[in-house]
Structure 1
Amino acid sequence: MPVKEKAPPIKRGREPQRKKQKGKDKSKNEGGADEVVELDVKNLLEKRSRQSSEENGGKQEEKEEITASVIHEGKKDSPFPETEVTVSEMSSTGEGLALSPSGDHVYVVPFALPGETARVKVYKTIIHKSYSLTDLIEIVKPSPQRDDSLIKCQYFGKCSGCQLQMIPYEDQLQHKKRIIEKAYANFSGILPELIPAIGDTMGSPMQYGYRTKLTPHFTQPARNRKLEHGDGPPEIPPIGFMIKGRRKVMDIEDCPLGTDIVRSGLKNERKRVAANLHEYKYGGTLLIRESTKRIEKNEKNEALPSDDKVIRKTFPDYVEEKTYITDQNGISVEYVDNYQFHNVAGTFFQNNNSILQAFTGYVRNNALHPEPKSDVSKTGLETPEVSNPKLKYLLDAYCGSGLFTIVLSDIFRSSLGIDVAVSSIKCARENAKLSRVPNTGFAAADAADLFKEIPYPADQTLLVIDPPRKGCDTNFLNQLLAFKPTRVLYVSCNVHTQARDVGVLVEGKNGVRYDIESIRGFDFFPQTSHVESVAVLTKVVESKAE
């Protein structure tokens, strides 16, 4: 078995706010899948090392030599070693983690649950980080938690899209709560006592049939590029998503996570590409995005049937028509409550509409707070020196097409959305008009000066941020701390970069810092290991000694 000298225990010195971080600078942690797995592996090995040390009375175990059969880097002329392992725990990316018998190496096992015995095939070993990536051959002894009758996709176990279809939904929600807990432990640098208990993950009303957007892709075979007229039919390539653990596309004819109209669109797009392969020199990424239209109900449109291009459903006051868009620059339409949102189809908008109403409702309920907390760390005083006025203004950074600016507008005197994308701001302004929201404005701002001309007093302002997966850069966080809004709601689809950025705000700068009021996850992506998170932060007001 591969072995590695045990790492020393993590030092947990008590600083005023945060733990010391060695080596890689925190701002460079990107929260990618590889980094997350490596941290989970590291923590499991350290836990096993501590247990072993306690069992041996503090004595170190003797090490085995690394065997050549396991040091495999996926070379064609190397055998693929197989082994039987028992999974200890599940990583934040959804893979099982299994310790070697010596406890000094970890096997990363896809589609496996804690307690299961699995037969795996190693295809790559990262020696200096003491873990191996594997393919699952079979589950030898299943966990009581496993229920394969829950699986609704014929590609599950091969496609990289889903990881959790074999476990009950309530267990998925508990797993995602744990993902957030580990994200803040591993990425924030915040002392444990400063992190509130993570709230229960809010479940999605729909666990299948919820995705309003799919982006399958394909690679044009080299043979097709060489064909000339009369040389025979082109080879139809796989059109779908990546095979788990491989840089190879898997042919996907249907995805049960998609809404009905998106699934229909996937079938139609596959046929269209197959008939027009000559238009794609190297391949491409397709777009199938749902769009919704509500029309006044009458006898004529109530009787209209659905087909593979439009699905109709009758409601008390209107008929809803679901269609799909394949043009990246087309305009898709989405409804949240009674608010209507137009969006450039190829840009970001939440793609699980079934949870959006509850999600935005939670954000509304946590938007306002009467006053910031006082800093009692130095003086022991419990009452703030100054009680700031009630929040009256909303500033929505990374506003996109205006989701939060618009749905929160009625609880603020004025709301402003800012974004670096001019096309998104154009849609946001149109959406405010469609929803007849008078007290909102939108501005396209340069990333280096997002807060330069904000018209609101900071002590009366709520800041909502919903950045892309990479999170906020250092420049943005410095601007935020310089502006000093009273309250911050940080929404993120990557809890690891969220935790990293929240750590910066908790540490603070130039006397400005924030406390975490609450953190809660939202399951926008059932059957997968992804989880959305909302962190609520309140600015600390430093009290002065008398």
Structure 2
Amino acid sequence: MSDQDGAATRTGFANQDGAKFGANVNGKRPHGPSKRSLKKKQKTKRERNMTEGSTEEVLAADVQALLKSLKLSDDEAADEEQLAAALPAEGSEVNVKVLELSSTGDGLAVLHTPDSPAPPHPHVYVVSFVAPGDIVRVKVYRHLLHERHSVADYISVVRPGPLRDDSRIRCPYFSQCSGCQFQMLDYPEQLRHKRTIVEKAFRNFSHLPPELIPVVGDTIGSPLQYGYRTKLTPHFDGPPGYRPSKKNAPKVFFESRPDIGFMQKGKRKVIDIEDCPIGTDAVRKGMARERARMANEYAEYSRGATILLRESTQRYPKDSPEIPETIPSDAVRVDDEKHVDIKTCITDNNATTTEFIDDHIFTNPAGSFFQNNNSILPPFTDYIRQRILPPKSAASIKYLIDAYSGSGLFTISLASLFTSSIGIDIADKSIDFARKNAAHNGMKADSCSFIAADARQLFKSVTYPRDETVVVLDPPRKGCDADFLGQLLRFGPKRVVYVSCNVHTQARDVGALVRGDGGDGVKYEIESLVGFDFFPQTGHVEGVAVLNRVETEEMTAPGTSNEVPKDN
């Protein structure tokens, strides 16, 4: 999920689970550090509420690592009152030098004071839209003394660093919109940074010794760096005077078209955005169409809303007589060697969209989750196909369990490799579409089936032989819970492929599998780690970890019945 699908509030701090950080209080910025923030050796409420692998915790780990490299002593770290007196006032403007990029996509900087002595206490400033080596003008928003950093708003570049080239920027809203962070970086540099994100995730959150973590592979890039997003969700706020908390308040309607777009970085404000260059051509045409519609219908709205923009494809064989001679002005025609695709933009959450990944067809409710970058899905699924089975010299694997299967992307695209495959998801609607997708792709229920069940309970009914089974995991951002991981370990499949949109919670979970936490002696080793760039120009990276079960004397041997669960 990128920031276009979720509101971002302060600089770099709408976390990936939706938690807000450093937000204004009653629309006002705090004037200075409170007495509570000056207490020593006591976690703040925000620190206590951090969840493992959250954006806040990821940033905290990066800040602490940088301070350690700057030789911050324990005595300096403890003296918050002295630090507060030395820092610039909140609301003031200062120049900072960017030292590195954090795993959140924000720059980590220190005060730039070329004509005066360096500050006596190292202190980190977190600022967006910057590159290492940049010297930038920022406005200090808030000091978080207990965490040894301050949040600052980007104003302008004083002197660009060697990695920055603003001629690469394609969006007029860059440095205002919360969606993209890296448009000024060349693409190989973005990929190099995302490799370091995966490396730091496993170093900081797996709790494994370095010798158990393999070298992270080069990040696999997206064939498209712009024009790749098949889904955008611009939105608009309610009209002036709208009070959602007051149930009986009179309705207030718009007197003019509202600003429609995405959240401004560092503000609780929607930017009016006419076009988004990371959207596909069909999505961008849909955005223009919906903005024009709102210009005529704004008076009908008494509250804010989110607009769904989702690409859908109708495919024809190249020689089909049914190919339309003309298409609507807001549709897009794409020709290749075998097909003609007519792409349109769907705005009804309850409509059905159609997407083609290689030779597979997938239908989904327009408002549901499906990967939003179709250009990278063929190399992504091919990578997993090439690595999901062990080397030929190893024991044969015949069965696939796809946990968190959704509408069947992995179950269907990998099914030809196995005697039998089963996809499990908690959502009945997802399973309904997964079964339809299996039928669309000519798959029989006895070889590719789906069941609706809580993933935490799925292994209680699965009777695949564990020595002949591989499990694919693709959980939500929060990762897997301890109960599920314990259940997975007790089942003990031969191999595990863990796909994640949050490499930090992935690292945490993979660490538990390698240690065998609660697994009756079953443990795993990491065969490979690599990132995929599903969202170019942003700080997000998708992780793929391939694990092998370690054969130990402690392993218990549950039953290995060849009976497979029935589709229901």
Scaled to the shorter chain, the TM-score interval is: 0.7 to 0.9
Q: How many equivalent residue pairs?
A: 501
SS of alignment partner, residue 201 of structure 1? coil
Q: Contact 1:48–1:103 at 8 Å: present in 2 too?
A: no
Q: CA deviation at 1:33?
A: 2.1
Q: Distance in 1 between matches of 2:240 and 2:484?
A: 44
Q: Distance in 1 between matches of 2:485 and 2:50?
A: 14
Aligned to 1:15: none
Aligned to 1:533: 543
**Residue type at the aligned position of 2:134:** E
SS of alignment partner, residue 498 of structure 1? helix
Aligned to 2:103: 92
Q: CA deviation at 1:307?
A: 4.0
Q: Distance in 1 between matches of 2:120 and 2:325?
A: 67
**Residue type at the aligned position of 1:361:** D
Q: Contact 2:83–2:121 at 8 Å: present in 1 too?
A: no
Q: Deviations over 1:90-114 (max 9, x none)?
A: 1111111113433431101211111
Q: Contact 2:105–2:128 at 8 Å: present in 1 too?
A: yes
**Residue type at the aligned position of 1:490:** Y
- TM-score normalized by structure 1? 0.85
**Residue type at the aligned position of 1:165:** Q
SS of alignment partner, residue 66 of structure 1? helix
Q: Contact 1:45–1:103 at 8 Å: present in 2 too?
A: no
Q: How does 1:287-366 map to 2 (within 5 A)?
A: 287-297=308-318, 304-366=325-387
Q: Distance in 2 between matches of 1:261 and 1:481?
A: 44
Q: Distance in 1 between matches of 2:79 and 2:365?
A: 60
Aligned to 1:270: 291
Q: Distance in 1 between matches of 2:228 and 2:109?
A: 33
Q: Contact 2:263–2:270 at 8 Å: present in 1 too?
A: yes
Aligned to 2:8: none
**Residue type at the aligned position of 1:152:** R
Aligned to 2:477: 469
Aligned to 2:69: 47
**Residue type at the aligned position of 1:43:** A
Q: CA deviation at 1:448?
A: 3.9
Q: CA deviation at 1:190?
A: 1.1
Q: Distance in 1 between matches of 2:320 and 2:529?
A: 48
SS of alignment partner, residue 83 of structure 2? coil
Q: Distance in 2 between matches of 1:118 and 1:446?
A: 49
**Residue type at the aligned position of 2:522:** V
Q: Contact 1:204–1:523 at 8 Å: present in 2 too?
A: yes
Q: Deviations over 1:394-421 (max 9, x none)?
A: 0000000101101111111110000001
SS of alignment partner, residue 376 of structure 2? helix
Q: Distance in 2 between matches of 1:453 and 1:272?
A: 51
Q: Contact 1:224–1:235 at 8 Å: present in 2 too?
A: no
Q: CA deviation at 1:168?
A: 0.6
Return closer, same or farther for 1:63/1:353 CA change in 2, 3 Å cut-off: closer
Q: Which segment drifts farther, 232-241 or 184-193? A: 232-241
Q: Contact 1:29–1:500 at 8 Å: present in 2 too?
A: no
Q: Distance in 2 between matches of 1:138 and 1:397?
A: 46
Unmatched runs of 5 consecutive residues or more in structure 2: 1-31, 42-46, 112-118, 555-568
Unmatched runs of 5 consecutive residues or more in structure 1: 8-23, 73-78, 372-386
Return closer, same or farther for 1:299/1:180 CA change in 2, 3 Å cut-off: closer
Aligned to 1:217: 235
Q: CA deviation at 1:252?
A: 1.2
Q: Contact 2:262–2:272 at 8 Å: present in 1 too?
A: yes
SS of alignment partner, residue 262 of structure 2? strand
RMSD: 3.1
Q: CA deviation at 1:63?
A: 9.0
Q: How does 1:88-487 map to 2 (within 5 A)?
A: 88-100=99-111, 101-223=119-241, 234-297=255-318, 304-370=325-391, 389-438=395-444, 439-487=447-495
Q: Distance in 1 between matches of 2:133 and 2:287?
A: 37
Q: Distance in 1 between matches of 2:435 and 2:271?
A: 40
**Residue type at the aligned position of 2:149:** Y
Q: Distance in 2 between matches of 1:133 and 1:60?
A: 18
Q: Deviations over 1:132-181 (max 9, x none)?
A: 11111221111111111111001001111000000110000000000101
Q: Contact 2:38–2:81 at 8 Å: present in 1 too?
A: no
Q: Distance in 1 between matches of 2:76 and 2:297?
A: 68
Return closer, same or farther for 1:179/1:103 CA change in 2, 3 Å cut-off: farther
Q: Distance in 2 between matches of 1:85 and 1:289?
A: 40
**Residue type at the aligned position of 2:55:** A
Q: Contact 2:239–2:254 at 8 Å: present in 1 too?
A: no
SS of alignment partner, residue 82 of structure 2? coil
Aligned to 1:14: none
Return closer, same or farther for 1:60/1:480 CA change in 2, 3 Å cut-off: closer
Q: CA deviation at 1:61?
A: 12
Aligned to 1:523: 533
Q: Distance in 1 between matches of 2:38 and 2:161?
A: 30
**Residue type at the aligned position of 1:123:** Y
Q: Contact 1:183–1:495 at 8 Å: present in 2 too?
A: yes
**Residue type at the aligned position of 1:281:** S
Percent of aligned positions that are identical: 52
Q: Distance in 2 between matches of 1:391 and 1:478?
A: 22
**Residue type at the aligned position of 1:96:** G
Q: Distance in 2 between matches of 1:453 and 1:397?
A: 13
Q: CA deviation at 1:312?
A: 1.5
Aligned to 1:75: none
Aligned to 2:93: 82
Q: Contact 2:239–2:253 at 8 Å: present in 1 too?
A: no
Q: Deviations over 1:203-231 (max 9, x none)?
A: 111000000000111111234789999x9
Q: Contact 2:201–2:507 at 8 Å: present in 1 too?
A: yes
Q: CA deviation at 1:275?
A: 2.9
Q: CA deviation at 1:37?
A: 1.4
Q: Contact 1:196–1:518 at 8 Å: present in 2 too?
A: yes
SS of alignment partner, residue 209 of structure 1? coil
Q: Contact 1:370–1:390 at 8 Å: present in 2 too?
A: no
Q: CA deviation at 1:121?
A: 0.4
Q: Distance in 1 between matches of 2:421 and 2:372?
A: 24
Return closer, same or farther for 1:321/1:511 CA change in 2, 3 Å cut-off: same
Aligned to 1:504, which of 467, 488, 512?
512
Return closer, same or farther for 1:220/1:70 CA change in 2, 3 Å cut-off: farther
Q: Distance in 2 between matches of 1:316 and 1:358?
A: 19
Q: CA deviation at 1:5?
A: 11
Q: CA deviation at 1:543?
A: 4.4
Q: CA deviation at 1:479?
A: 1.4
Q: Contact 1:301–1:319 at 8 Å: present in 2 too?
A: no
Q: Which segment drifts farther, 252-261 or 39-48? A: 39-48
**Residue type at the aligned position of 2:281:** D
Q: Distance in 2 between matches of 1:233 and 1:336?
A: 42
Return closer, same or farther for 1:409/1:59 CA change in 2, 3 Å cut-off: closer
Q: Contact 2:404–2:455 at 8 Å: present in 1 too?
A: no
**Residue type at the aligned position of 1:434:** H
